[in-house]
């Protein structure tokens, strides 16, 4: 995997990347892109395999399709990447652009993490373990992003917005993920 000059991930070997451009992005502030933020998401909550997340990130979610969708605050959100349970990888926003995934956030004294972070969503919730396929794709994606950017940190959404967020949750195996990266 590699990041092209426009900030999109290219296919590499057995891993393919679907591009599903989101309109929910803007220009980054100047400075290094040096943080990865790991999230979890499922729409409806704890239901996997549907297209709710893709529709949310592309502003095509039918709020009448499920009662839960009517509780989602109006607004525009996105992420750079989304890794499905079976390992399918979708990119919504060029990594050179600011995706709207972190909200009000602070990392190591720096506010507005969207300015300098890349958001990676895992299809999941705080209530279930993530899959081997997701960890494998997350590992490869992290390596590609580290090769392209001076990544100094990796945090969960809960680390940068602890008063509001719990993801990626207690079922995300940080030791497994970080140990494999170190090896």
How many alpha carbons lie under 13 Å from residue 29 in its C-beta half-sphere?
A: 10
Q: How many whole angstroms separate alpha carbon 123 and alpha carbon 91?
A: 13
Burial label for 39, CB within 10 Å (0-12, 13-18, 19+), is buried
| Residue 39 DSSP one-character state | E
86 annotated active-site: no
* The 153-156 sheet, strands edge to edge: 17-19, 89-91, 81-83, 117-123, 35-41, 153-156
Q: How far apart are CA 143 and CA 148, in angstroms?
A: 9
Tokens for 178? Answer: 């970080």
Identified catalytic residue from 11, 74, 121, 123: 121
Write out the catalytic residue numbers: 121
């Amino acid at each position: 995997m590699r990041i092209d000059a426009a900030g999109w991930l290219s296919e590499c070997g057995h891993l393919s990347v679907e591009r599903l451009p989101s309109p929910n992005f803007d220009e980054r502030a100047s400075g290094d892109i040096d943080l990865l933020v790991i999230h979890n998401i499922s729409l409806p909550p704890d239901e996997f395999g549907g297209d709710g997340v893709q529709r949310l990130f592309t502003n095509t979610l039918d709020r009448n399709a499920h009662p839960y969708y009517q509780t989602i605050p109006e607004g525009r959100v996105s992420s750079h990447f989304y890794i499905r349970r079976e390992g399918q990888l979708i990119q919504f926003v060029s990594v050179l652009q600011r995706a709207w995934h972190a909200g009000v956030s602070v990392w190591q004294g720096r506010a507005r993490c969207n300015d300098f972070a890349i958001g990676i969503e895992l299809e999941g919730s705080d209530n279930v373990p993530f899959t081997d396929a997701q960890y494998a794709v997350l590992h490869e994606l992290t390596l590609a992003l580290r090769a392209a950017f001076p990544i100094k940190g990796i945090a969960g959404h809960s680390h940068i917005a602890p008063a509001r967020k719990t993801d990626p949750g207690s079922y995300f195996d940080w030791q497994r993920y970080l140990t494999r990266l170190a090896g």
